[in-house]
Amino acid sequence: MPQSKLCTAAEANKQIMNAAIQAVKTEEMSQRSAAKAYGVSRSTLRNRLQNRNTGHQGGQTKFSPRMETDSVELVKACCDMGIPLNRYHCYQLFSQVAVELGLPNTACNAQSFRSFLDRHDEISLRITHVSNRKQDREWTAEVCEEYISKLQKLYDEGFLNTAEQVWNLDETEFDTNSFDRVVGRKGMKQIPSQYNGTAKECVTVLPCGNAAGLQLNLLALYSGKLHLKFRLEDTFNMCYHAVNEAGYMDQLIFANYIKEVVFSKITAVLETGRRVEIFCFPSGQTSRLQPFDVAAFGGIKYRWNKYLRDRRVKKGGLEFAFNAGTDLKSGFAQCGLFLFNPDMIRKTVKPYTDPSILQRGIRQVQSDINHDKLVEVLRAEYGITDAVGLQEVKTCVENVLKGLTTGMVLAGAMAKTLMAEAPKKKRLGKNTMLRLKAGALITSDEMVAEIEAESARKKAVQAAAKAAKSSRAPKRKAPEPEPVLEPPGKKASKATTKKPRRK
């Protein structure tokens, strides 16, 4: 039998009150008996039966319900445009609105802000994700459709039909040093925190997993020249360790990891004669398209920071497991890779990445609308006669016809003011050879031919530059001959040395 879902105290009180009201309406009990049997207030039960005072109880809000609704729309529109407001922005916004309205109390503090959030369930305080604006503006609806078309080709060929066949590799960095806020002696600038473990360093981690939730041994890449013994301690042979001077991924380390770890685990697939295709995600868009980035890395790093915090105070048995598990399955589903879902991929295009999305959702308004009647009413009834005021009213009417709310208009104006206009020239990919703007299947014949042609072109350019450099090099002068000495007793010849040529 499935367990019932727990409910809050407010929900439980509401259910009890509804049961008491139902008992009275079915004439099973009187109001007094029902209030006593269900343990509710008799006056509250009577008011509910008479449908009185069922709304919000308490003091009046600073703004009217209409203005609060517009404020919520503004906050949500700013979030959609990529310029979210924090609590201090909201403090200033609400205080300025109160000043413009001439309210006696213009202050806004943490308590009033918390009450504002409690009154509206559709908004809450969330953690921001830093996003590069140039890269965001490259992820347009057209590029997304091109990316979907390439995945559709893989899906038609049967590469995205089985969860065990779809794999994802993604790298991230882990810091072995933790910072924590502790209670210490006042006045100390630095408080030492000792622990048993490795030194402070940043490690590049490359995990690999499939859509079925299977994760292989991850690659841990350190910076240095030699392997250190303490790095292998407590890893239980669950990591593929590598080291290079820079500490960043290079071709040799990546190829060795694929050969020794990844291909060794999918030998059953290779023995069947099926081919393995390698697909690169669009450059700069991994935060919204990579399964590890979308669903796994956040929880894993949270547990890692918790492990760094607790290993100083807990003795023995404290281990950390880098395991995505069910999160990895959810990541493949959210990215639309398995099961293959083009509509889920299209949802990754947001208004702040492609402003044309907002234009598509706006209802079209005829440009030849006659506003003469509206102008007559405004002049006769409201005394608005200046051209500026009439134009502002016309703009408001057109926004209503288009379906634009006040919050959407204000958020658009704020985005233009803070971030200026969208950059017209798109950022070009650093690696123009692979053309990864919309992703690419780098094992296809076309891509291999393109890579070989690009490599041949580079070799030709290098050879031409080398030949030009050798042709411009100055020729070496022949050494001058030494003077010829005559034997003693003979008359010296007139010309014993050659004179240097005049330049």
Fold that domain 9-49 belongs to in CATH? Arc Repressor Mutant, subunit A (1.10.10)
49 or 501: whose pLDDT is higher? Answer: 49
Output the CA angle 430-243-300, nearest 5 degrees.
75
- pLDDT tops 60 at residue 495: no
Mean pLDDT of the chain: 79
pTM of the model: 0.66
pLDDT at 56: 54
Residues 6+ positions from 232 with CB-CB distance below 8 Å = 241
Three-state DSSP state, 495: coil
Q: Where are any strands of DSSP class E within 387-493?
A: 440-441
- pLDDT tops 60 at residue 112: yes
- Please state, in angstroms and rounded to a whole number, the distance separating the CA atoms of residues 348 and 328: 18
- pLDDT tops 70 at residue 57: no
106 or 444: whose pLDDT is higher? Answer: 106
First to last CA, the chain: 108
Residues 6+ positions from 336 with CB-CB distance below 8 Å = 342, 343, 344, 345
**Range with the lowest mean pLDDT among 95-104, 346-355, 453-462?**
346-355
Task: Give 201's Cβ-side CA count (13 Å radius).
Answer: 18
Q: Where are the domains of the chain?
A: 9-49, 139-179+198-346, 356-419
- pLDDT tops 70 at residue 164: yes
Strand partners, 219: 206, 240
* pLDDT, mean of residues 338-352: 90
Tell me which DSSP letter residue 261 carries. Answer: I
Least Cα distance to 93 among 66, 79, 72 occurs for 72
Buried b (16+ CB within 10 A) or exposed e, 78-95: bbbbbbebeeeebbebbb
* Contact present, 16 and 34 (Cβ < 8 Å): no
* Contact present, 37 and 29 (Cβ < 8 Å): yes
178 or 222: whose pLDDT is higher? Answer: 222
Three-state DSSP state, 91: helix
